[in-house]
Structure 1
Amino acid sequence: MSIGKFNYSFKYIFVTILLLIQISAAESVKIFDLRYTLDWDYSKEDIRSDVWDNCHSVAALQGILNRDKPTLYLRYVDSRRKDINIDNYWLEKATADGGWLDDVEFEQVGDIEELFRMFKNRVNGLVVYDGNVAATSNVASSVAGADNLIPVRYDKSEGSLYSVLTDKIGFKVKVWLVKPNGDSLFDKQGLIPGTDRYTTGSAKCDAYIWLKEHYLKTGKLNPAFGAYYIDYFWTSKLASIPKNHHNLTNHDYFVSNKAWFFDLNVWADEAPNDDPGQIEGTDRRTLCELLLLCNQLLDEKEMIYVGGFPPWAHKYTKSAGCRHGDVSTEWEYAYILSGYNAYKDADAIGFGAMANASFWQHYNLKDKYPQKWVSHEELLERGYLTKDGRVNFDGREFIIFYVGDYDAASWLYQRTADIWDDENRGKVPMMWSISPVLARRAPMAMEYLRETATDNDYFVAADNGAGYLNPGALKYSKWNAEGRPVSGLKDGTELWQQHCKKYYDKWGLTITGFIIDGYANPMDSALYECYESFSPNGIVPAKAPISCLFGDMPVLRSDYDVNSSDPAQAAELVMERIAARSIPFHWFRNILKTPTWYVQVNNEIQKQSEGKVELLDAPTFFELLRIYMKNNTDAAEGRYPYFESMW
């Protein structure tokens, strides 16, 4: 950030100066380049194990060191779309003249042994896990955050990281998740070790129950932070996806915040492919048990922030040889989380890798980032309103693109360099749909977008507000006669409202660009009232009337995804949908498309429509929709008193 360029509050300047003093007074920030692990031969399982060991232990160390202040920075995530290193990209912005860290000294660390020797006295020892019970790697990440320990896999072979840390550097083992002789601690016999709980019949789930009893129940972990990342099973098969999809460098933020890690199947009707001998649904029951306890510990007064995503390329889905589809698994997972007042920051495979979130969590944001709404006077001057206040279509149809998907901090972290920085940004209106909770792990990216936005860049909330959950699973309704879906907890609508309002107010958001209802029921009137309180200028649900007003809030049902790489084909689909729909307002969702693509598609639409289809900015689109609905009784009846009657 450029401190001299912006009118920051005194509080902001003071906090920034204080942080810089804190960093420089202690020691230089260390930089460790982890990219050497990307050059190894991943076709060999033992090499994949070494990759895992290196990335896992370094990420946990980083999370511990960065808990109180920025101390360790990693170079790891290379761009798949641009010839740059993403971690360098963000660090260069922070260290530029006037930047957040322009006065901070940096020191390169040579190798992993030097790194752990350097910080040996900053951690309390090791937590050692069992490569034969893959889930213990996630349990170890949880324990690492709680007890300031380095997680490492039991491997006494010469040159292993375990041997280096214990024999060469002298770390002591403080927690064993495997027996000291290498035998499995979780052997599915009798009681789960150290508890009065009988085995679930699954060593995988027993490990998570052990974590629940020893670390969640005892208050050593933060129940408001969950982390869904693939466990050591990743090493067992080589998926045809980029090498960094173990997503271990994502662990640092969650270790830093003492999160509980998990990797559990969400389906009740199929045993997971990583534990085929378990009773069907044991994984799901274990996940629900963990989520229920977290709600009890939070007294159902705080939403649960969960990073990560089902590892669909490796487990649980048709892509991994199982029965359920990839999207179906995403939806079932969202449905479960929603029932337990949890939402996801969805680091989905594709662009799921992120590094340094524990470092960036200390970045200082301004109190608010307001945005300007359009006035009726402006709409009249621009020719969109008649003098009597009605929408002036003049033979036109209006469209808007949902510029997504930015419901994952990792996707924003990776794709800003090639999507946002595209040379054609600003040439056409773009409704950037970005979840405000991404500011938790990528605050510098969120602010960079606001600082460099053009008049054609407008920001709205991504699915489904301040985080991805299904609103219909937050409450009881006529569809849920048996009680709140999945959990049976009390109504979570007010909790969601309070959570979202805080983020919407900070980031100047008044539109929710998309609501994925998934397997949840449609929203009822109470949920519409909830959204009206923080998203008064519009929402776009999947399960809704094609268009209506709720009070003064415009509601437009979502339509097709348009993602063809061929602009002409994309434009053809847009034109087909316009012809098929009964109102002159049209919404289309796009995933990770560049401004150049939008310019090309818009040009094609102009050709095919002979200029009768107009791409609008978000304030203009939704304000005109509101006016249209108010003035057309055939299209709307004002506030619907009982939304349940619509379906």
Structure 2
Amino acid sequence: MMTVDLPRPALSSRPDPAATAPSASRSFTRRTALAGGIGAAGAAALSMSAPSADAAGPAPAGGHHGGHHGGSAPAVHWERGRLFPTFDRAASTVRVGDMRKLDGFDRLLLITLQGLVNRERPELYLIADDVDETWIPDLPARTRYEKHPLDLVGRFRRRISGAVVYDMDAPDTINLATTIAAQRGAVVATADQASEHHLKVIEDLRGRFDDDPAAIYAYATDHLWEKSTHKVLVGLPPTHTVEVDGVEWTELLREKERVTDSSNLGTQTVDLTGQVGDGEVFVRLSDSFPEDGWGPALHHATLTVDGEQTADFVPGTDAEAEFLFDGSGSQTKDGLRFADGGSSFIYRFEVPAGASAVSIDLELENEYLVSTTGTAPTRVEPFSSFRDFAIATSALITWLPPSGDSGSQFSELLAKVDPGTVYAGWFANDVDGEWSGVELCSTHGVIVVAADYYMNASVLSGIPATTRARPTKPSRGRVNDRTYLTLTFGEGDNIQFCERHMRELWDDPARGSVPMNWTITPLLEDIGPALLHHFQRTATENDFLVCGPSGAGYTYGDSWPKDQLDVFTKASGRYQSRTGLDVVYAYSTPESGKPSPTLPDWVLESYAKNVELRGIMQTDEKGAISDPGAAVPLLGTFYPAGGVDTYREELLAKIEEERGADGADEKGGPLFIAGLINAWSWTPSDVKELVESLPEDVEVVLADEFFDLFARTA
């Protein structure tokens, strides 16, 4: 636990709510879980009351590169050496709107309103799910709940110049509309919403664009870039799918064994007769053992109706597109589609009335679960999260897959900004998009911050809290001839994870019972100081905060231009020094089907020169890499997929392999293992169960002591 001096949290006008439930998780792969449950602590009381919501009219247009455009934004400032802007202190009374019962269309209207309001003075906080309410008691400001959240439009009407209307038939116009709205001091709305709330339509995008994302974003770059900030780029999906309440699924096929090696690859015939609804049937493929992360992989599908083939496709082809109803929780690769953990993918098939025999042949492997329903299970709505930040900063929003033709378009956009610029949000194509997107950004010297589900950035940035901390003192423990294990929850570079799922994990009663490390981003110092303050203040002696990949943002250091990497490591050094983080969890550029390569010497030299570090843990599953006396000790992580039993079995097997059957390290001396914990599928209770089941000659320590002991073996 790092040393930090923290004031008492200020009181809130509402009592501490009961513990909240998490949102549904889409996947246990690296990034795609929609998580829930959080909390925070505030700091010193704020001064200066906010002006009345009715006192200010819409902000005038104008601006300059790196500032705000389409409206003066006195609350937002870009300070030298900071990757995110700073916002003026929030108003002493923050209005709260509860959107939990609203659909995505109304949420989009309110979140774009929030961006307009908070760029003048942060004073509007919105609740999208239970996790957002959990933070409210810790905010050092009085809160006032709006009884009807849509009444906020009328309350802040004089801040709004009008509405920009988007076209759901060309959904990427939602991103275009958000960029235009930021520049013109408007909200984003449907035509019906504009009429209902008596808002002047200042731009109507309906019918102006074909459903062609490349053309829409080319238009945005050509016409809106010059008046957008050049200090941050934002990537957000224009829409997302939402589960329809009340849909019942019938399970028809399940793999009952744990299979992770494709050994059960084969064609399964599933009878859909009797499952057809009103002329259609939906088939869902999900993970039968979601804790493992080895869900279904589909190679080929054929639908037969009364002896006639009506569908025949390979995933990832044009033939599949006609039938893929919702693939948002899945990925494609080499002619197959797969979904792990909490993810799934759904096909829709039309079936003629009166059909007497309907079946589907599925060529499947690994841990599959096949279910059906006759009712449309999901619907498409605008994606609204994080748009308040884009409005407040007047950032250009795109959603360009980082490979193929769109990758070239994305590259052209990245080339327009300086090294060290942040790309905040996420990438299309999920895991494939992550790898290619982070690599593409890295080659351009652009730092990735996963932020697409981050809520209330424009007000949390303006709520001050003490985040300065000092590293722990060096360990003086004796190095023994035994196995030293340190266990680390991943995902902490992801600010939405820090805001949401990390708090749920943090509130597990088992936290603090055994040593465990938590990755977290030092960028919360700017964009969520109250969140970082909470984790620092409530950490036990068995909690240690580690800087998430790969410092001040997510990047692949070995993909950076060599002459530019110091830009990133210097920024990391500044942020980590202020927040007391002196261990980094890092990534190198992934190679498909291979272990991640070891970070090269020139990358480690840049870290050694610019960041005060005890050591780096790197995802490559190779174990110890560097010499203990290296300028920056580097150890690979050990990461067996699966639950506690699998982890323990593979860990003990690794120890036996490293030490030999007699338990003695062939090289002599201690053995060091840096274990990674899947933050989407494990909890502190699971870590406690693992630790308590290990033999006595395995000592579990925090990462600071781990690297101190490792260095002492030089």
TM over 0.5: yes
1:89 to 134, 137, 151: 134
Greater mean alpha carbon deviation, residues 283-292 or residues 66-75: 66-75
- Tell me by how many angstroms 1:243 deviates: 8.7
The Cα offsets for residues 106-162 of structure 1, whole Å up to 9 and x where unpaired, read as 1414142x2222222102212222222221111112222232211124xxxxxxxx2
The match for 2:219 is 210
CA contact (8 A) 2:93 2:143 kept: yes
- Tell me by how many angstroms 1:63 deviates: 1.3
SS where residue 547 of structure 1 aligns? coil
CA contact (8 A) 2:164 2:189 kept: yes
Q: Does 1:420 align with 2:443?
A: no
The match for 1:42 is none
The match for 1:307 is 424
2:233 to 215, 226, 237: 226
Alpha-carbon distance between aligned partners in 2 of 1:4 and 1:529, rounded to the nearest angstrom: 38
SS where residue 265 of structure 1 aligns? coil
Choose between structure 1 and 2 for higher RCO, CA contacts under 8 A separated by at least 6 residues.
2
The match for 2:460 is 360
How high is the sequence identity, in percent, across the aligned residues? 21
> How do 1:87-126 and structure 2 match up within 5 A?
87-94=132-139, 100-101=140-141, 104-112=142-150, 114-126=151-163
Q: Does 1:392 align with 2:480?
A: yes
2:115 to 63, 67, 81: 63
Alpha-carbon distance between aligned partners in 2 of 1:33 and 1:186, rounded to the nearest angstrom: 34
Q: Which structure carries more strand by proportion?
A: 2
Alpha-carbon distance between aligned partners in 2 of 1:504 and 1:246, rounded to the nearest angstrom: 36
SS where residue 559 of structure 1 aligns? strand
- Tell me by how many angstroms 1:411 deviates: 1.3
1:571 to 648, 657, 681: 648
2:710 to 625, 632, 637: 625
Query: Which segments of 5 or more consecutive residues in structure 1 lack a partner in the other structure?
Result: 8-14, 38-50, 78-84, 95-99, 154-161, 188-201, 269-280, 317-325, 385-390, 477-490, 631-647
SS where residue 248 of structure 1 aligns? coil
CA contact (8 A) 2:9 2:138 kept: no
Amino acid aligned to 1:564: G
The match for 2:389 is 253
User: Given the two structures, how large is their TM-score scaled by the length of structure 2?
Assistant: 0.64
Alpha-carbon distance between aligned partners in 2 of 1:227 and 1:572, rounded to the nearest angstrom: 43
1:530 to 593, 599, 606: 606
CA contact (8 A) 1:568 1:604 kept: no
Q: Which structure carries more helix by proportion?
A: 1
Aligned residues: 495
CA contact (8 A) 2:115 2:389 kept: yes
2:443 to 334, 339, 342: 339
> How do 1:139-218 and structure 2 match up within 5 A?
139-153=176-190, 162-165=191-194, 167-176=195-204, 178=205, 182-183=206-207, 185-187=208-210, 203-216=212-225, 218=226
Amino acid aligned to 1:453: A
SS where residue 447 of structure 2 aligns? strand
Amino acid aligned to 1:304: T
- Tell me by how many angstroms 1:551 deviates: 6.2
The match for 2:689 is 600
Alpha-carbon distance between aligned partners in 1 of 2:712 and 2:94, rounded to the nearest angstrom: 54
SS where residue 36 of structure 1 aligns? coil
Q: Are residues 23 and 622 of structure 1, via their aligned partners in 2, closer, same or farther at CA, if it must alter by over 3 Å?
A: farther
The Cα offsets for residues 63-103 of structure 1, whole Å up to 9 and x where unpaired, read as 111123332121222xxxxxxx1111100222xxxxx11xx
Query: Which segments of 5 or more consecutive residues in structure 2 lack a partner in the other structure?
Result: 11-42, 54-90, 243-323, 330-342, 344-377, 660-669
1:34 to 79, 90, 99: 99
Alpha-carbon distance between aligned partners in 1 of 2:506 and 2:549, rounded to the nearest angstrom: 19
CA contact (8 A) 1:408 1:438 kept: no
CA contact (8 A) 1:511 1:537 kept: yes
Q: Does 1:265 align with 2:392?
A: no
CA contact (8 A) 2:166 2:189 kept: yes
Alpha-carbon distance between aligned partners in 1 of 2:611 and 2:200, rounded to the nearest angstrom: 51
CA contact (8 A) 1:435 1:462 kept: yes
- Tell me by how many angstroms 1:263 deviates: 1.0
The match for 1:322 is none
Alpha-carbon distance between aligned partners in 2 of 1:135 and 1:35, rounded to the nearest angstrom: 24
Greater mean alpha carbon deviation, residues 518-527 or residues 402-411: 518-527
- Tell me by how many angstroms 1:203 deviates: 3.2
CA contact (8 A) 2:467 2:532 kept: no
C-alpha RMSD of the superposition:
3.1
CA contact (8 A) 1:225 1:254 kept: no
CA contact (8 A) 2:623 2:673 kept: no
Alpha-carbon distance between aligned partners in 1 of 2:5 and 2:154, rounded to the nearest angstrom: 36
User: Given the two structures, how large is their TM-score scaled by the length of structure 1?
Assistant: 0.70
CA contact (8 A) 1:517 1:541 kept: no
The Cα offsets for residues 280-324 of structure 1, whole Å up to 9 and x where unpaired, read as x1x1111111111123xxxx4xx222222234xxxx3xxxxxxxx
Amino acid aligned to 1:615: V
The match for 1:285 is 408
